[in-house]
Amino acid sequence: MNKSKELIIGIFACISLAILYWGINFLKGENVFSQKNVFYAVYENVDGLTISRPVTVNGFKVGQVSNINLHSKQIADLIVEVTIEEDINFSTSSLLEIYDSDILGAKSLELIMIQGAKIAQSGDTLKGSIATGLTSEVSEQFGSVKVGLDQLIISFDKVLKEVKDLSNTANRILLNNEEKLNTSIYSIESIASEIDNQAININNIIDNLSSFTDTLNSIDVHSFSNKIINISNQLEMMLVQLNKGDGSLAKVLNEDSIYIDLSNTIKSMDELLNDVRQNPKKYINISLWGGDKKNAK
């Protein structure tokens, strides 16, 4: 009876251990009851790959990373051991490539099957490679963007420095010419005030100009021009008559004898006036006592 109990306890313990072993491997992603083929790949840098990460073929999981060890202390290469659970055949020319399985940069292995003459067997070493992942591309792009930002910041600093220098120069000019600026401002204000004071006169001038233009508009230009033409024609006829010698005025202007007679007459009048001025008694006889009148009788 006691032996049967011990046997039952032993069998139960073995079953419990087996279940525990299976559960642990299940949590690791390993299938205890499937056939496993082990392959190896050598890397200089596993780029954050860890044990239990999946091995996929075209996105389908066919195995997982079972172990990672240092190859040697001198070379410091890393040997990655993978377990392939699916019954698939691929050549020894195939690759085990490390790639980014998500946007956070978690690493997995991709089995890239390449045609070759020799089929890979369990225990063979395949060629390892590292794909350029999203994280690397983002890092490279960010690096170029960072360089551009650095250059932009440097350029912006230069611009700020130039603006600061310009501001200092402007302030210095304003300080040195403050009196002149005040005088100019005062002059401008005086001119503006004078313009305001003369606004009434300017308005009157504008009104006068407006009235003058209205007057010009009211003039009959056609009749005015006709009058000018008539006056011009009459002057022309008068000049023609003067040139022909018609009329008294034309004779005066054109005949020398009339001119000579007028000159002699004027000369005689000048001589008579001079003689009167020099000998007034010869022409005017005035007696205060009346004696001359008696003698005349």
Same domain, 28 and 38: no
Integer Cα distance of 245 and 238 in angstroms: 11
- Between CA 124 and CA 146 the distance in angstroms is 44
- What is the tally of structural domains in the chain? 3
Does a structural domain hold residue 293?
Answer: no
Q: Is residue 74 part of a domain?
A: yes
Q: Is 197 contained in some domain?
A: no
Q: Of 81, 60, 62, 54, nearest to 70 (Cα)?
A: 81
With respect to residue 157, please indicate whether it lies within any of the assigned structural domains: no
66 and 7 within one domain? no
Residues 226 and 252 in one domain: yes
Range of the domain at 16: 1-33
> Is residue 39 a contact partner of residue 113, using CB atoms and an 8 Å limit?
no
Residue 9 to residues 5, 17, 18, 53, Cα–Cα distance (Å): 6, 12, 14, 37
User: 41 and 75, same structural domain?
Assistant: yes
Residue with tokens 């000579």: 260
Are 40 and 127 part of one and the same domain?
A: yes
Q: Where is the domain boundary, 90, 114, 131?
A: 131
Cα distance between residue 12 and residue 196, in whole Å:
117
Q: What is the pLDDT of residues 136-181, one digit of tens each?
A: 666 666 667 777 788 888 888 888 888 888 888 888 887 888 787 7
Across the 297 residues of the chain, what is the mean pLDDT of every consecutive 10-residue run? 72 82 65 74 88 91 89 76 88 92 85 90 90 68 74 86 86 80 83 79 81 70 74 78 63 65 78 76 57 45
Residues 25 and 98 grouped into a single domain: no
Q: What is the dihedral of CA 155, 161, 162, 167, to 10 degrees?
A: 150
Claim to verify: residue 43 and residue 121 sit in the same structural domain: yes
**What string of DSSP letters covers 211-253?**
HHHHHHHHS-HHHHHHHHHHHHHHHHHHHHHHHHT-SHHHHHH
Q: What is the pLDDT of residue 296?
A: 43
Distance CA 197, CA 114 (A): 100
pLDDT for residue 155 = 86
User: What confidence score (pLDDT) does residue 253 get?
Assistant: 59
Q: 57 and 111 share a domain?
A: yes
Say whether both 102 and 38 belong to one domain. yes
Residues 93, 76 contacting (CB under 8 angstroms): no
Strand bridging mode 95-100 / 125-130:
parallel
pLDDT of residue 294: 44
150 assigned to some structural domain: no
Residue 173 maps to a domain: no
Q: Are residues 72 and 104 in the same domain?
A: yes
Domain boundary among 78, 100, 131: 131
Is residue 105 in a domain?
A: yes
Residues with Cβ within 8 Å of residue 243, at least 6 apart in sequence: 250
- How far from each other are the two terminal CA atoms of the chain, in whole angstroms? 226
Q: How many CB atoms lie within 10 A of CB 280?
A: 11
CATH at 77? 2.40.30
Query: Is 260 a domain residue?
Result: yes
What is the per-residue pLDDT across 227-260, written as a single tens digit (0 to 9) for each?
A: 778 888 888 777 776 666 656 665 655 666 666 7
DSSP code string of 131-181: ---HHHHHHHHHHHHHHHHHHHHHHHHHHHHHHHHHHHHHHHHHHHTHHHH
Q: Are 31 and 61 in contact (CB under 8 A)?
A: no
Contacts of residue 46, Cβ cutoff 8 Å, sequence gap at least 6: 68, 78, 80, 98, 107
The number of angstroms, rounded, from the C-alpha of 155 to the middle of its chain's C-alpha atoms is: 17
Do residue 52 and residue 106 come from a single domain?
A: yes
Which sign does the torsion angle of CA 160, 165, 171, 173 carry?
negative
Residue among 127, 129, 125, 76 at smallest CA distance from 98? 129
Q: Of the candidates 131, 158, 188, which is a domain's last residue?
A: 131
